[in-house]
Amino acid sequence: AQKITQTQPGMFVQEKEAVTLDCTYDTSDPSYGLFWYKQPSSGEMIFLIYQGSYDQQNATEGRYSLNFQKARKSANLVISASQLGDSAMYFCAMRETYGKLTFGQGTILTVHP
């Protein structure tokens, strides 16, 4: 079974608009971490935002926020005021035990001027 599911292969957004990228996860571990990474065409994975399973508040980092709904096992990334430079592949990932990340399939975001 998929541990991390990103159901949107591609998303389009107009510059300056907000966009939500979906991520659902599956784990029986009470302690876990959720991460979002951005991968531009250059290939490097850039860390964006982290949410811990015990965090009471949704994480925010500048224009990025994480809509964490624990009961629904979802951790959607919200990008506000989209910029052309936001066009990239976005990955949701989870860590259950100390060590490896498990990644979703990714969502390609295209920002139109």
Partner 1 sequence: GAGVSQSPSNKVTEKGKDVELRCDPISGHTALYWYRQSLGQGLEFLIYFQGNSAPDKSGLPSDRFSAERTGGSVSTLTIQRTQQEDSAVYLCASSLAVRGRESDIQYFGAGTRLSVL
Per CB under 8 A, residues contacting partner 1 are 31-33, 35, 37, 42-47, 50, 52-53, 91, 93, 95, 98-106
| Nearer CB in complex with partner 1: 24/82 | 24
Q: What is the DSSP string of 35-60?
A: EEEEE-TT---EEEEEEETT-SS--E
In this complex, which beta carbon is closest to partner 1, that of residue 50 or of residue 64? 50
Helix (H), strand (E) at residue 94: strand 88-95
CB of 13 or CB of 95, closer to partner 1: 95
Please provide residue 101's backbone torsions phi and psi, each rounded to the nearest 5 degrees. -100, 140
A 10 A CB-CB count for 85 gives 9
Nearest approach, Cβ of residue 52 and partner 1 (Å): 5
Minimum distance of partner 1 from residue 72's CB (angstroms): 19
